[in-house]
Chains A and B, each alone.
Chain A
Amino acid sequence: MLLSNLPALQVVIPLVSAPVCLLLRNPRHAWACALLTSWLVLAMAVMLVQSVYAGGTISYAIGAWATPWGIGYRVDMAGALMILIIATIGAVVMPYAWHSIQHELHKKHTGLFYTCYLLCLTGLLGIVVTGDAFNLFVFLEISSLSSYVLISLGSKRRALTAAYQYLVMGTIGATFILIGVGLLYMITGTLNMLDLSQRLPEVADTRTIRVAFAFVTVGVSIKLALFPLHLWLPNAYTFAPSVVSAFIAATATKVGVYVLLRFFFTVFGIRFSFAAMHVGEILMLLAVTAILIASLVAVFQDNIKRMLAYSSVAQIGYIILGISLASSDGVTAGMLHLFNHALIKCALFLAMGCIFLRLGSVELKDMHGLARQMPWTMAAFVAGGLSLIGIPLTAGFISKWYLVSAALKDGYWPLAVLILVSSLLALIYIWRVVEAAYFNMPGATMHRVKEAPASMLIPTWLLIGANLYVGVNASLIIDIAHQGADILIGQVLR
């Protein structure tokens, strides 16, 4: 009973506990409620992934209405990987949130924070499990609206403009997606993704479908911050509360990529998307530009959260680069990096949160000599940074290896060189922080800085541990990513 309803419970439980958090006036109770919910979500996610891994794709009809009429939920291997990412990150950041939120947010806002966090979690999970194109839009809006609020809760006043900027761009993106989905409905008369994929080939050669494809592609690209539609991202990540930066960086853009995958491969089909519309070439070009330009911009940032944000834009470039190859290996590499980058970036943002808690700043100039005062935090940052660069025995190395070999397999050796060269740019921007923290003379007030509390260090190090574990034994993740990629690609070839 419980097991068969997992896809729905996955979404319903955080949705129900969100208003509960708002009603609990005591911040500690609200936090406990959110913590419990996110751990429950993780437990369900693990069960769900297990049953998908063992028994294949799960379908679920909401309210027992059969799918073309009712809303169908559908979890395949690609979705299972996403659920795993979202639930893991959610469960890890919640214990961390207590100290961090108490420090960064006004007391009257904490309840609101946990509510919005749970709504965001609901939206992100909903996007992944749903098999209905319009329902996907609804969940996308739930996650987006709640993340606008989450970002605006940042302690600096500029958080408001950052949230507003994201709101404007995010709404444009959502509207584009809605227009695209509307056009699809107009032609095919269905919103179910599987139905769409069956009916679209007959009508693929119409201008309406091409326009729908363009609207969806651009709309989703704004959501996932594909260069040059990434402009909302640096400010949003920089000014959001630390926990929010970590959570959103690891999940929201990743889910955007997932939506893109769904539309390209499941709904429109690989033949239409890549052979007829040539989206592969466009994406490849944008991805390459993203990798180079965003990495270069990251090198010159003095606010480390902003630096990490630009690094995210570059890393999204890697993911899109893998997908743009439209081969089994390429998509596998993309999905692998999706997972690994979530682990890496979340860990790095959490480390920044620890630093912000103690220093009240994440500016490079304030971090001089910090390593002496916060050895564990800085060690976590270095380890996460090494993973970002792609040093062997870290998760980042695994995805880099896959990406390069996928590019080489298709004969794109300049791409292979580019991926490797750009990882040196990561070395440069990470090492600026390392040198500042380990070599520069500490400022006058530095001796008062203490190490972050254990409740923040342990989640950070958990993610670092996950990074190292994946670096040594990635077979399970690779297997899941591979199966997911094959389902995505194979669905249309069949």
Chain B
Amino acid sequence: MSPELTVLACVALPLLAPALITALHRWPNPREAVTLLVSGCLFLLVYSLHDAVLHGARPAIDLAEPLPGLKIGFEVEPLGMLFALLASFLWMVTSIYSIGYLRSHHEWRQTSYYSYFAVALGSAMGIAFAGNLFTLFIFYELLTLSTYPLVTHAGDDAAREGGRMYLGYLLGTSVIFLLLALIWTWSLTGTLDFRAGGILEDVVTPGTASILLVLFIFGIGKAALMPFHLWLPAAMVAPTPVSALLHAVAVVKAGVFTILKVAIYIFGIDFLAEIPATRWLMYVAAATILLAAIVALRQDNLKLRLAWSTISHLSYIVLGALLATPLGIVGSGMHIVMHAFAKITLFFCAGAILVATHKTRISEMDGLGRRMPVTMAAFFIASLSIIGLPPLGGFWSKWYLALGTLDAQQLAMLGVLIAGSMLNIAYLLPIPMRAFFRRESVDPGATVSRKAPLACVAALLLTVAACVVLFFCPEPVYRLMQLLVTREG
């Protein structure tokens, strides 16, 4: 298969999978086999593009032209490659986890769950491989809409409220700010293509560019920059695997990925450094890092604490992009991957705890380490990776982000990074410590506990192992990001 067709297949395969999944709705085992098979094939397809992209190939294909001059088309470049690899790999793992989780939880509407999940992944692939900003926007909106049924899966009043926030924030910001920025850029430059070095530099004044940048950064609501972050805690009404893959990886990372794409290919990092608004937005990102971490400290619900932590960590990536230095960009790209593996592990653990003990509050988790040693150990290791301690992958991304701040001579931002990591310690480590060192409060009602499903444990072991592996060989991630900035420079 030619690389162009492979690109198309990467997007089309998950988008078409729901047909098969729905057809098999009476037979759960073949139905789940479809999900596993499609996710496995998808990863292999994406991976088959990897070597070519590393050696400079940029397979591209155009599909349609809804408006004259505006194409729906795909082009694979290193950053998209990275995001696609990440999302497709973690979809495989999450699918295994989902099967264990949904079955032992006796969730309803499992067929529609797997269908929308596949559509969401297809949209994420579309975002990753989008050849221009217009295509990216289309899949960005498709991702919002296809994840709405997943967020509201429970179908109760809480789900409805959460869904309202989710849709309101994400569609609202994207329609009012992002679409305006898109049409404005289009009317100024006559193109929405991603070009190395950006398309705006010679066309607009730094003043106009400032307004555009503000519209872009806040318009990409999926990056959850304050004050447009409240949808993420609201989305925690979703089943845990959805929170794990979509609201720690696919959706939120699609947001910061879009910001990186805009920074690199629409503005160009040299021009970005000259725009006055860049610095102010950097302060907003810094404030988000600290404030979200402080709010996380006060959350007793484990999933909510993780959600606030995600908000904080997304802003690390935004900050890295806005530093507008090659090292900052490298750090951002690496943080997309490193944070993804660590955070998805944490969510997997939260889900495993929920299935096994029906506990959602941190204050109830005393002594849990004795009952679920594997899960809690994984939680501990992933926490260390989030904090950024060696020997775990999270170390590298924070390392490069710190180098980026030094490179941009933003010492205050270095201080923010360090303070953020301190807060990470404060809100994450107490959880495994409670679990291992405190004695379980004797609660006669809580004797119904079961073991976490094997599929769940296997999935979280896989991702936590990846956290360790990524410390010893971050090379693949680094090389892709390096390719991005050297081409840029």
Interface residues of B in 130-164 (CB under 8 A from A): 137-138, 141-142, 145, 152, 155-157, 159-160, 164
Q: B64-72, B249-257, B266-274: which lies at the A interface?
A: B64-72
Please state if A473 and B65 are interface contacts (CB–CB under 8 Å): yes
At the interface with chain A, which of B37-45, B52-60, B81-89, B178-186?
A: B178-186
In the bound complex, how far is the Cα of B141 from the Cα of A401, in angstroms?
Answer: 15
- Contacting pair A392 B137 (CB below 8 A): yes
Whether the pair B183, A472 counts as a contact (CB closer than 8 A) is: no
CB distance from A420 to the nearest CB of B (A): 5
CB distance from A403 to the nearest CB of B (A): 10
Question: Is B468 located at the chain interface by the 8 A CB criterion?
Answer: no
User: Is A424 located at the chain interface by the 8 A CB criterion?
Assistant: yes
User: Chain B contacts of A404 at CB under 8 A?
Assistant: 179-180, 183
Per-residue A-contact encoding for B170-181, CB less than 8 Å = 1, 0 else: 011001100110
Interface residues of A in 453-494 (CB under 8 A from B): 471-475, 478
- Docked-complex contact B175 and A409, CB < 8 angstroms: no
A23 adjacent to chain B (CB < 8 Å): no
Q: Is the CB of A474 within 8 A of B180?
A: no
CB distance from A131 to the nearest CB of B (A): 31
Whether the pair A475, B183 counts as a contact (CB closer than 8 A) is: no
With a cutoff of 8 Å between Cβ atoms, the chain B residues found around residue A439 in the complex are 152, 155-157, 159-160
Q: How far is the CB of A475 from chain B (nearest CB, A)?
A: 6
Q: How far is the CA of A393 from the CA of B66 in the complex (A)?
A: 8
Distance of A473 Cα from B71 Cα, bound (Å): 10
CA distance A404 to B179 in the complex (A): 9
Q: Are A473 and B64 in contact (CB under 8 A)?
A: yes
B2 at the interface (CB under 8 A from A): no
- Determine if A475 and B175 form an interchain contact, defined as CB atoms under 8 angstroms apart: no
Nearest B residue to A423 via CB reads B175
Separation in Å of the B319 CB from the closest CB of chain A? 28
Q: Across the interface, name the chain A residue whose C-beta is closest to B182.
A: A401
- For B171, B179, B184, the residue with the greatest tally of chain A CB atoms inside 10 Å of its CB is B179
Of B155, B157, B159, B187, which contacts A408 at CB under 8 A? B187
Q: Is A421 an interface position by the 8 A CB rule? A: yes
A-side contacts of B156, CB under 8 Å: 439
A391 at the interface (CB under 8 A from B): yes
B187 CB contacts on chain A under 8 angstroms: 405, 408-409
Distance between Cα atoms of A398 and B167 in the complex (Å): 21
Q: Are A424 and B171 in contact (CB under 8 A)?
A: yes
**Are B66 and A424 closer than 8 Å at their CB atoms?**
no
**Residue numbers in B under 8 Å from A409 (CB-CB):** 187
Of B64, B142, B172, B175, most A-chain CB atoms within 10 Å: B175
Q: Are B142 and A393 in contact (CB-based, < 8 A)? A: yes
Question: Bound complex: CA of A390 vs CA of B155, how far in Å?
Answer: 26
B176 touching A472 by the CB < 8 A rule? no
Chain B residue at smallest Cβ distance from A408: B187
A205 cross-chain contacts in B, Cβ below 8 A: none
Give chain B nearest CB distance to A478 CB in angstroms. Answer: 7
Q: A423: which B residues are within 8 A, CB to CB? A: 175
Residues of B near A420 (CB, < 8 A) are 175-176, 179-180
Type the 1/0 row for A31-46, where 1 means its CB is closer than 8 Å to any CB of B: 0000000000000000
- Report A-chain residues with C-beta under 8 Å of the C-beta of B171: 389, 424, 427
Interface residues of A in 33-84 (CB under 8 A from B): none
Contact of A424 among B72, B155, B172, B186 (CB under 8 A): B172
CB distance from B144 to the nearest CB of A (A): 9
CA–CA, A438 and B153, complex, Å: 11
CA–CA, A202 and B348, complex, Å: 80
- Contacts A405-B183, A473-B64 hold; do A427 and B167 have CB atoms under 8 A apart? yes
CA–CA, A408 to B152, complex, Å? 37
Among residues of A, the one whose C-beta sits closest to the C-beta of B141 is: A392
Alpha-carbon gap, A431 to B138, bound state (A): 20
In the complex, A478 Cα to B68 Cα: how many Å? 9
Per DSSP, chain A at the interface is helix
A391 touches B145 (CB 8 A): yes
Chain B nearest Cβ from A391, distance in angstroms: 6
The interface residues of chain A lying within 8 Å CB-to-CB of B179 are: 404, 420
Distance in Å: Cβ of B70 to nearest Cβ of chain A? 8
Contact of B167 among A393, A401, A417, A431 (CB under 8 A): A431
- Report the Cα distance A429→B172, complex, angstroms: 14
In contact, A398 and B66 (Cβ under 8 angstroms) = yes
Give chain B residues whose Cβ lies under 8 Å from the Cβ of A386: 145
Chain A, residue nearest B159 (CB): A439
On chain A, the residues within 8 Å of B167 by CB distance are 427, 431
User: What is the bound-complex CA distance between A471 and B66, given in angstroms?
Assistant: 6
Nearest A residue to B188 by beta-carbon distance? A408
Please name the residue on chain A nearest to B172 by beta carbon.
A424
- Is A435 part of the contact surface with B, judged by Cβ < 8 Å? yes
Q: A416 interface residue, CB < 8 Å from B?
A: yes
Cβ contacts under 8 Å, B160 to chain A: 435, 439
Determine the distance from Cα of A439 to Cα of B157 in the docked complex, in whole angstroms.
8
B159 contact set on A, CB distance < 8 A: 439
Q: A478 to B66, alpha carbons, bound, how many Å?
A: 10
Our pick among A389, A390, A421, A478 for the contact of B67 (Cβ within 8 Å) is A478
Knowing A392-B138, A408-B184, say if A472 contacts B152 (CB, 8 Å): no
* Residues of A close to B145: CB separation below 8 A: 386, 391
Interface string of B255-267 (1 = CB under 8 A from A): 0000000000000
Whether the pair A475, B68 counts as a contact (CB closer than 8 A) is yes
- Find chain B residues with CB under 8 A from A438 CB: 155
State whether A424 touches B65 (Cβ < 8 A).
no
Q: Which residue of A lies closest to B171 (CB)?
A: A427
Q: A427-B167, A472-B72 are in contact. Are A390 and B180 (CB under 8 A)?
A: no
B141 proximity list for chain A (CB < 8 A): 391-392
Check A390–B175 contact: CB distance below 8 A: yes
Closest to A329 in B: B187
Task: Specify the chain B residue showing the minimal Cβ separation from A474.
Answer: B66
Q: How far is the CA of A17 from the CA of B442 in the complex (A)?
A: 85
**CA–CA, A401 and B68, complex, Å:** 12
* A424 vs B173: C-alpha distance when bound (angstroms): 10
Task: Find chain B residues with CB under 8 A from A416 CB.
Answer: 180, 183-184
Chain A residues near B64 (CB-CB < 8 A): 472-473
| With A392-B141, A405-B186 as contacts: A474 and B67 at CB distance below 8 Å | yes
The distance in angstroms between the C-alpha atoms of A86 and B142, with both chains bound, is 32
Chain A residue nearest to B178 (CB atoms) is A420
Q: Which of A408, A421, A424 contacts B183 (CB 8 A)?
A: A408
Inside 8 A of B65's CB, which chain A residues have their CB? 473, 475
Contact with B along A312-349 (1 / 0, CB 8 A): 00000000000000000000000000000000000000
Within 8 A of B (CB), among A216-268: none
In the bound complex, residues from chain B placing their C-beta under 8 Å from that of A393 are: 66, 138, 142
Q: How far is the CB of A379 from chain B (nearest CB, A)?
A: 12
- B176/A473 in contact, CB under 8 A: no
Give every chain A residue within 8 A of B186 (Cβ-Cβ): 405
Chain B residue at smallest Cβ distance from A400 = B179
State A401–B186 Cα separation when bound (angstroms). Answer: 10
Do residues A417 and B155 form an inter-chain contact, with CB atoms below 8 A?
A: no
Q: Which residue in chain A gives the minimum CB-CB distance to B72?
A: A472
A416 to B181, CA, bound (A): 11
Can you list 28 A-B pairs with a CB-CB distance of less than 8 A?
A: A389-B171, A391-B145, A392-B138, A393-B138, A398-B67, A401-B183, A404-B179, A404-B180, A404-B183, A405-B183, A408-B183, A408-B187, A409-B187, A417-B176, A417-B180, A420-B179, A420-B180, A424-B176, A427-B175, A431-B164, A438-B155, A439-B160, A472-B64, A473-B64, A473-B65, A475-B65, A475-B66, A475-B68
Beyond contacts A398-B67, A439-B157, A474-B67: 6 other A-B pairs, Cβ-Cβ < 8 A, are A391-B145, A405-B187, A416-B180, A420-B175, A423-B175, A439-B160
Per CB-CB distance, the 7 closest pairs between chain A and chain B, nearest first, are A392-B138, A404-B183, A439-B160, A420-B176, A405-B183, A408-B187, A392-B141
